[in-house]
Amino acid sequence: MKTNFLIAITVGILLGAGCNSKSEKKEAVADGNHKVTVTEVLQANEYTYLSVSEEGNNYWIAVPKMDAAMGDELFYTNFMEMKQFPSKDLNRVFESVLFVSDISKERIVAQAPVMGKSMGKPALEKKAITVEKVSGGITIGELFGNKEKYSGKKVSIKGQVVKVNYGIMDKNWFHIQDGTDSNGSYDLTITSTEEDVEIGDQFVFEGIVVLDKDFGAGYSYDVIMENATVLR
């Protein structure tokens, strides 16, 4: 199984069995900040895994790819814990790892969230992609442009894979684009148990359209395709 794992946070995008919004051993200070000291650094494809120490407690966190070194002092406030998390990049299983969405070298000042914006999902830029519409299917632009029509229905969409996250909440997560859009919506998130999907692959995905899906931790989707199969 190939992987190019990201989250969410989610962080993730964020979302695994055994995930907790707070760990008993990791109590935040009064302003919500966790202050940690880096004791080990492991670099993966899209994430940096850091072994950190916080007030005598040692644990692992995963953050978006960054330069880090032993002895660095870092701060964070938002995280999601995943237990028995398998990292394919590192070929190891973490007993527990916190996926952190807001790692910083400075203490974080709380800000009010912006209405309508997800605080956890990564923003994916629109790719220069042209994918021919599959016979009997729809485009991503058509889906976002008339989402109520397709809510709860099984649809087929051919797209190019632009992001892959494996093994989150017992599912694999794919982002696809086909070059179409509707009012700036051009990237479709898909959940599936399918494997052997890589960035750059062009496949037809067939699944159920679900609206206003909220997984928590900032991972909410106006439109998502769930339980998809890949028609190769």
Q: Which fold has domain 1-24+31-107?
A: OB fold (Dihydrolipoamide Acetyltransferase, E2P) (2.40.50)
- For the cut 50, the answer to whether the pLDDT of residue 135 exceeds it is yes
Q: Give the β-pairing of 34-43 and 73-76.
A: antiparallel
- For the cut 50, the answer to whether the pLDDT of residue 115 exceeds it is no
Say what the pTM is.
0.55
- Mean pLDDT is lowest, of 41-55, 153-167, 209-223, for 209-223
Beta bridge partners of 130: none
Residue 201: its pLDDT value, please?
94
Beta bridge partners of 216: none
Q: What is the mean pLDDT of residues 193-204?
A: 92
- Name the CATH superfamily housing domain 140-231: Nucleic acid-binding proteins (2.40.50.140)
Comparison of pLDDT for 218 and 47, the residue scoring more: 47
Q: Do domains 1-24+31-107 and 140-231 have the same CATH topology?
A: yes
What average pLDDT is seen over the chain? Answer: 81
- For the cut 70, the answer to whether the pLDDT of residue 133 exceeds it is yes
Give the number of other CB atoms < 10 A from CB of residue 29: 13
Residue where the block lists tokens 């859009």 = 181
Q: DSSP characters for 19-50?
A: --SS-TT----TTS-EEEEEEEEEE-SSEEEE
Q: What is the mean pLDDT of residues 136-148?
A: 96
Please tell me the distance from the alpha carbon of residue 50 to that of residue 43, in angstroms, as a whole number: 9
Residue 128: its pLDDT value, please?
92
Domain locations in the chain? 1-24+31-107, 140-231
For 92-108, how does the pLDDT look when each residue is reduced to its tens digit (9 = 90+)?
A: 999 999 988 889 999 88
Please tell me the distance from the alpha carbon of residue 52 to that of residue 70, in angstroms, as a whole number: 9
Please tell me the distance from the alpha carbon of residue 119 to that of residue 13, in angstroms, as a whole number: 10
Please tell me the distance from the alpha carbon of residue 170 to that of residue 52, in angstroms, as a whole number: 27
